[in-house]
Amino acid sequence: MSSTSHTSTHHTSTIGSIGAPSRRNTELGLLVFAVVIPVFAYANVGLALDDEVPAGLLSYGLGLGLLAGLGHLAVRKFAPYADPLLLPLATLLNGLGLVVIWRLDQSKRLQARAEYFEAAPRQLLYSAMGITLLVVVLLLLKDHRVLQRYTYISMAGALFLLILPLVPGLGANVYGAKIWIKIPGLGTLQPGEFAKIALAVFFAGYLMVKRDALALASRRFMGLYLPRGRDLGPILVVWVMSILILVFETDLGTSLLFFGMFVIMLYVATERTSWIVFGLLMSAVGAVGVASFEPHIQTRVQAWLDPMREFTLSREGVRDGIIHSEQAMEALWAFGSGGTLGTGLGQGNSDLIGFAANSDFILATFGEELGLAGVMAILLIYGLIVERGIRTALAARDPFGKLLAVGLSGAFALQVFVVAGGVMGLIPLTGMTLPFLAYGGSSVLANWALIGILLRISDTARRPAPAPAPNPDAEMTQVVRPS
């Protein structure tokens, strides 16, 4: 079942095996691309907008290179066996996001708006803070299993973060969704982004302890293993929590994200398909139930079903107590106008989306200016990050690490799906941002921390073990090559 000893003469290799190359030079090589591509994109925007290479090109290139180099050195020093793809992929997305945010900063239409400010310098600052946070995570978190100790503190922290936007005077209602808090002088914060990580830690710690009870003590009914009533407790608690988020913060995305993450982790922990069935049923009941009386959710669903109607209502300035928005339709037009190859960076009109063009809707700018080709590439990069995360989970030797890695990767995947799907009109729009691409400090910081944790777990997983793993639960993936 598992192989803990390995010699090079065997035709059996094991992921996470002893003596695996560290792949740090691969990472460095990839990082060069991850820095050079955004630098070219930046030059491209400048040439398209002003017919000249932007003045900040050198400092931007150096800055991004410096940040990437810092990340790389930290990984080399503190997590030498970490996955070599995660850092370059995240850097590439972060760099491209910065370029497009800068490009939208130059838009006359957005500059004319009341809420306009230059977002790119701030985003650069957030990126620097994010990579610093990554370094700090790698530096302080020598072993991810330490997090296990903070299982219940994480839960308390997550709940605290989730409740914050509801505190009067602190919460900010932005276009109907209440998932932001305002910190005077500093701007807004999306605590949900951080809650995502805290909840993953809590679920991983909790499920690791409870998984046997949840998995084994069940009755078989109609081919499904039904859990005992008392084991249903935690799933109900999380369900109620996501319903409450939906009701009070009126955000379908966040709610879906947390509940989905929990179901994924529960399924991995117990290996019981019945949990997925339960999860889907409960989220369906919850979503439909809340949507039946919450006007904000209804508007979002209507805008999804008929974005043109919503556009017309908004244009005509219909005041019926519901905020009608042109944005959903504007985003679809942006995608359609981009076509296969796009208009080229700096040459589209995605700024017609107006509010949140550089955050929630940033994918539409990629769609218009880089076209189908560009968006597919972006989606595949996200896919790669997720699959590298799950590969880390596969390779991890301890159940806590497996659960945490799959929880974070799953949440990342769900977030990408919910946001990109919302902007592209596949599902109703929600108020979340695309990791790394979108403007927003919370999102950038939290996602760099997330990458940091994944790097740590993968480092632990791939590090040559001095002794056989003590945990009997650790499974290894075997790849048997015919000799």
Partner 1 sequence: MNKPLRRIALFCGLLILALLIRNNYLQYVKADDLADDDENRRVNIARYSTPRGDIIVEGKAITGSVESESGDYKYKRTWTNGPMWAPVTGYSSQAFGANQLEKLEDGILTGNDDRLFFRNTLDMLTGKQKEGGSVVTTLSAAAQKAAYEGLGDKKGAVAAIDPSTGKILALVSTPSYDPSKFAGTSNKDAEAWNAVQKKNNPDDPMLNRALREVYPPGSTFKVVTAAAALENGEVSGIDDATKTPDPYQLPETTGKPLTNQHGECKNASLKYALMVSCNTVFAKLADNVGNEKMIEQAEKFGFNNPELDTPVRAAQSVYPEDNRPQNAMDGIGQASNRATPLQMAMVAAAVANDGKLMKPYMVDQLKAPNLDTIETNDPEELSQAVSAETAQKLQQMMEAVVNDPQGTGSSARIDGATVGGKTGTAQHGLNNSEKPYAWFISYAKLSDGSSPVAVAVVVEDGAANRDDISGGGLAGPIARDVMKAVIDSKK
Binding-site ranges for partner 1 (CB under 8 A) = 108-109, 112, 264, 267-269, 271, 308, 311, 329, 332-333, 335-340, 349, 352, 367, 371-372, 375-376, 379-380, 382-383, 386-387, 390-391, 393-394, 399, 402-403, 406, 409-410, 413-414, 416-417, 420-421, 424-426, 473, 475, 477
* Shortest distance, position 381 Cβ to partner 1, whole Å: 10
Distance CA 396, CA 406 (A): 10
Task: Return the amino acid letter for 304.
Answer: W
User: Over the Cα atoms of the chain, what is R_g?
Assistant: 23
Distances (CA, A) of 24 to 4, 409, 459: 24, 22, 11
Distance CA 274, CA 133 (A): 38
Q: Are 370 and 338 in contact (CB under 8 A)?
A: yes
Q: Which is nearer to partner 1, 223 or 466 (CB)?
A: 223
Q: Which is nearer to partner 1, 132 or 349 (CB)?
A: 349
- SS percent in the chain: helix, strand, coil, step 5: 65, 5, 30
Q: Which is nearer to partner 1, 102 or 267 (CB)?
A: 267
Q: Which is nearer to partner 1, 143 or 271 (CB)?
A: 271
Q: Which is nearer to partner 1, 131 or 406 (CB)?
A: 406
Spell 362-401 as b/e; 16+ CB within 10 A means b: bbbbbbbbbbeebbeebbebbeebbebbbbbbbbbbbbbb
* Shortest distance, position 179 Cβ to partner 1, whole Å: 22
* Shortest distance, position 271 Cβ to partner 1, whole Å: 5
H-type alpha helices, 217-350: 232-248, 252-270, 273-291, 295-305, 307-315, 327-338
* Shortest distance, position 368 Cβ to partner 1, whole Å: 9
* Shortest distance, position 112 Cβ to partner 1, whole Å: 7
Please list the residues that pair with 226 across neighbouring strands: 219
Neighbours of 248 (CB within 10 A): 15
* Shortest distance, position 216 Cβ to partner 1, whole Å: 14
Q: Are 158 and 414 in contact (CB under 8 A)?
A: no
Distance CA 181, CA 194 (A): 13
* Shortest distance, position 406 Cβ to partner 1, whole Å: 6
Q: Which is nearer to partner 1, 108 or 219 (CB)?
A: 108
* Shortest distance, position 20 Cβ to partner 1, whole Å: 18
Q: Are 401 and 391 in contact (CB under 8 A)?
A: no
Residue 278 tokens, joined: 């339960």
Residue 318 tokens, joined: 């219909």
User: What does DSSP assign to residue 145?
Assistant: G
Residue 312 tokens, joined: 């017309």
Q: Which is nearer to partner 1, 197 or 204 (CB)?
A: 204
User: What does DSSP assign to residue 18?
Assistant: T
* Shortest distance, position 79 Cβ to partner 1, whole Å: 21
Please report where in the chains the tokens 């904000």 appear, as a residue. Answer: 296
Q: Which is nearer to partner 1, 13 or 349 (CB)?
A: 349
Q: Which is nearer to partner 1, 243 or 263 (CB)?
A: 263
